[in-house]
Structure 1
């Protein structure tokens, strides 16, 4: 009887032990999954560091917003004319500031949740699958397209510096200068997250303000040209109309920062007492003041001084003194280095998310090194093959850039907040949507005509 009791005791103890182990393993599974998810978020570039300050938001947004295209704004003014040109500049600034405010507000509109990426907000507004299909393709077209354009811009600016400082040197093809510019990104692209590129972004923001200031102050110093003419550049009505459409798109597409604004806000710490939207909005306001300081003087002074004879890059029109033009081009190079990284970081995040979460690759340096090197190489090769890609972006980018900047935030605001019909918020959003749809239609029409007219001069691998 004693032996039977001992056997029964061991059997009960073994059963209880097995049950406890099974229960513990069952409880550990979600915890392990939670730990894995946390470790992935701590590795991905958007969510790995959340200690940014409000001024990080300021210079990140300036770097993302102010592109080298600011130097072509006087040319756009020449195609728009004084009245429409000033109107479009002001409306674009106001509307994009409003839609940017909406995105900052929507970042944490669900208690306890942060929409760290543009497509996550889109999924909340339109549904899991539809949100991805609406946002991701458009965002990728803008970010990858802008990076390719910056590859070309950086290479051409280095070439311009070389020509100015060494006028007797043998001409070198643009392709080699693009490769020189790309070599910087083969190093910088391996910085892990947004906060790690803060110094690069700050330098880029300072440079954008610097070359914009050089452009309009040098123009003002040169003085109004004696034969200045403020009539439209086109000689006939058809040309004037199409040039107007093209310039409308060029001015509107100067505001592309919305494609990375949620990703920038994701780097700012947040709590119920101190939500991230307050420091983020402070940074955005500072950034938009700087954007106005860059855009408006260059556009208005450049057109005022040179009229309709201004080139599509005002630095070309200025020509002298050489050292100032060379310095401005150097500032452009430094700026587009930072801008490239700002737009590349969300692309890196998308690629690494798919590889780690969907394809189950292990988060490691090797994975990051390979994916980012391939991306930089891809943008470099496309820039070398198609050095006129900037003209194409004016057409193709219109379908993606205008929606993500001008009216997609408004549609999401209407879907999520559901303001009362015909209220101020409802009317304001519908006005922005109508203006944005007009840009999507009219901008690419003008851009397509420019591509067709210029196609005879296009040369691959030039």
Structure 2
């Protein structure tokens, strides 16, 4: 199939279901739960034009904070202990709304690799790993919930974003490290999303090829053109001033993330029922060298870690809760449901997928072609992935854009390149007005997306990149900073029993992240030996 026809096939499928999804999104938008979930779902720090760290959730739900509170004013407000409980920042959240936000933030593309991860670890270890990551995430989340206020978890000064809590409890060095961890994780996620979107579009092409020509047909495809297509769409979306101008995309993205997750579970269950054989082994994949087995097991740990990542939005979600009762108590209750429900879903999908495919479980359960029929449902699931990633990409990219533009503007404050504005009328933009942009925005944002797409073409390996992202984000953001802030808050002395236990937990998770990183890098190196640069075969 030629490149042009590949694009036509993908776009035809998108247009066939787009109007239906848009109707659903319009209905969901009227519901406050979904409106909030769409704004919190991806939960990454949004660096506003004023220069203050503001998470996407806060920038959507409380836009006045970004527009009215610069870094200086924000710091003064925090030091003075001000609580803005009026206007747009009136907090009405409950344990149920917070639980919903957490579920929306946790469930995403990480679910696609769970069956493969279970296959690498086996029934016993795989189940223990899923439960173990859930337990660690829950425990450190309760520690982080107490850091919403400083110094007292009930009556202290509010920290409305993750990095403000780090600043209040740990100091400037840790703030710098936290910022580095967040930015590296943000940019790495862009690479992973580009790869995942291209693989899903290729899966649509192959599904149609198999349907027309039979399952034995030779249906090869190359993903570079599709990566460029996805990157081109991101260049267009990146020119909007902020995601508030395209909120409809975030609503659709949240809906599609749930759609493909449940479609994957349903297809795996159907596969298991169809052959009636409960597959899988106690120790997982056999017949490989001990080294390969170890690398894949480490990689599986990273995939599971990536599936549980949500710590960087916990404080922002907590900032939506009404008080009394104290926010930290409500948040701890919400975390039980918010982590418990995804864990049940993860176990269901991982175990069902492993039972259905055994040790041959595909790396991506929707694109590894464990399923051929019903082909239309497989197509819808993969298109849902692409639509989800179209919105999620911008959520993770906007903080990087903001940071780059702020730094460049600070260095050259009088440059016309930075400040001369052009306007273009664009449909579907928020507010109905023209889209305004500067040449600097066009060049900087397009350049970053082009570079990200280039890197994705060089390392187009789904599981390896997912595992590396899990390693980079889990230990620092989910474990290290919450544990360190808790010890500073409670003034736990060195070599006390709790000090030893908490440091032991942090060090153990650090070792897991190191092992996962090694496994991911080893898999990338091994895959590069079999793949030529700029040639993504699937």
Match of 1:102 in 2: 143
Matches within 5 A, 1:135-214: 135-165=178-208, 173-193=222-242, 199-214=248-263
Distance in 2 of aligned mates of 1:347 and 1:63: 23
Aligned to 1:322: 375
Find 1:429's aligned residue among 496, 499, 502: 502
Pairwise mapping of residues 245-394 of structure 1 onto structure 2 (< 5 A)?
245-262=298-315, 268=320, 287-315=338-366, 316-355=369-408, 360=413, 366=437, 369-370=441-442, 371-388=444-461, 391-392=464-465, 394=467
Q: Secondary structure at the match of 1:317?
A: coil
The answer to which of 106-115 and 249-258 deviates more is 106-115
User: 2-side partners of 1:339 and 1:164: how far apart?
Assistant: 25
In the alignment, which of 37, 40, 46 is matched to residue 50 of structure 2? Answer: 40
Which shows bigger deviation, 174-183 or 326-335? 174-183
Q: State whether structure 2 residue 505 is matched by structure 1 residue 452.
A: no
Contact 1:223 1:305 in 2 (8 A): yes
CA distance in 2, matches of 1:191, 1:112: 38
Deviations 1:382-403 (A, max 9, x none): 3234423762563476245432
Number of matched pairs: 422
Spell out, residue by residue over 1:344-377, the C-alpha distance to the aligned partner (whole angstroms, 9 max, x if none).
Answer: 2333343344345676578885458434444333
- Counterpart for residue 166 of structure 2: 122
Higher radius of gyration, 1 or 2: 1
Cα 1:388/1:260, change in 2 over 3 Å:
same
Counterpart of 1:142 in 2: which secondary structure?
A: helix
Q: Tell me by how many angstroms 1:255 deviates.
A: 2.4
Conserved in 2, the CA contact under 8 Å of 1:74 and 1:300? yes
Alpha-carbon distance change, 178 to 237 in structure 1, aligned in 2, over 3 angstroms: closer
Query: Aligned with 1:451: secondary structure?
Result: helix
Q: Which residue of 1 is the match for residue 484 of structure 2? A: 411
| Compared CA separation, residues 63 and 198, structure 1 to 2 (3 A) | farther
TM-score by length of 2: 0.66
Higher helix share: 1
- The answer for the alignment partner of 1:80 in structure 2 is 121
Q: TM-score if structure 1 supplies the norm length? A: 0.76
Say what the alpha-carbon RMSD is for the aligned residues.
3.9
Aligned in 2, Cα 1:300/1:280: closer, same or farther, shift over 3 Å? Answer: same
Please state whether the residue corresponding to 1:81 is helix, strand or coil.
helix
- From the superposition, tell whether residues 435 and 193 of structure 1 become closer, same or farther in structure 2 (CA, over 3 Å): farther
Do the aligned partners of 2:49 and 2:406 also contact (CA within 8 Å) in 1? no
Displacement of 1:298 in angstroms is: 0.9
Distance 1:165 1:242, change over 3 A: closer
Instruction: State the Cα distance separating 1:134 from its structure 2 match.
Output: 1.5
Structure 1 unaligned runs (5+)? Answer: 1-37
Alignment check: 8 A CA contact 2:300 2:467 kept: no
Cα deviation digits, residues 414-438 of structure 1 (max 9, x gap): 1233246788965663453133122
Mapped pair 1:234 → 2:286: yes
